Amino acid sequence: MKQVVTVRNLTIGEGMPKICVPIIADTEENILKKAEEILQYPVDLIEWRADYFEDAYNLEAVASVLAGLRKVMGEMPLLFTFRSESEGGCKAICAKDYFALNLAVAMYGEADLIDLEIYQDLERAENVISMLHEAGIKVIASYHDFDKTPSRSEIMTKLSKMKELGADILKIAVMPNEIGDVARLLKITGRTSINLEKPLITMSMGQMGMVTRIAGESFGSDITFGTVGEASAPGQLCVEDLKTILEILHKYQ
């Protein structure tokens, strides 16, 4: 039976896919302003993409932003993500510093979920996931490929490894080069949602893969990313359209 993940007042893994909106801004002031703006829209959780922050390597500055976000967001769940340059983010970071940053964020106590790129270092990731859980953090293990859609066996292997390491939610985002890539990802999502019994986030990026951002309830992807303003990845829909489409599809499930 598929598990669910509960964060504050939000249950992930049942019903309509939950809508997450990323904050992509460069200064603390702009980050907090963006959070206030996003809260005016029908969103379920907010992601802070810390790799866009101009002072992201400064732990005191990161802690200040997290405290400000919690004050602004109240009980809205907060997902912390530092997307590394190697997986499509804005800043380069070595594995040691990457995991240290995420552990520091957990200790500050403001984030509810952390996106962890486990393939930075699989051995270190397993220990970090355990420590994040001890700090009360839910872990989204993630992998991104902005060039292609890996084979079925490779995708399944990566998702299975995420579960093996103890992640709460399994995420994979890939780039399609033909429509068959999109169909393959949807098929894998449907099977994996049942077999691995964990909440999933899967997406095929770009315009070709846009259907994967709205078909989660049918295929088993439990969070989808929308935009309020600038997108953080190719193919994201604006929140208002995304919410409308999800509600229409939910009506006929």
Residues acting as catalytic residues? 144, 171
Contact 169, 200 (CB under 8 A): yes
Rounded-to-integer distance, Cα 64 and Cα 28, Å: 8
* Distance in angstroms (rounded) separating the CA atoms of residues 196 and 166: 12
Query: Number of C-alpha atoms within 13 angstroms, CB side, residue 102?
Result: 35
Backbone φ and ψ for 204, nearest 5 degrees, come out as -105, 120
Distance spanning both ends of the chain, measured CA to CA: 19
Do the Cβ atoms of 235 and 213 come closer than 8 Å? Answer: yes
CA–CA distance, 114 with 253 (Å, rounded to integer) = 31
DSSP-derived 3-state class of residue 61: helix
Which burial class, exposed, middle or buried, applies to 40 when counting CB atoms under 10 A from its CB (0-12, 13-18, 19+)?
A: exposed
DSSP 15: S
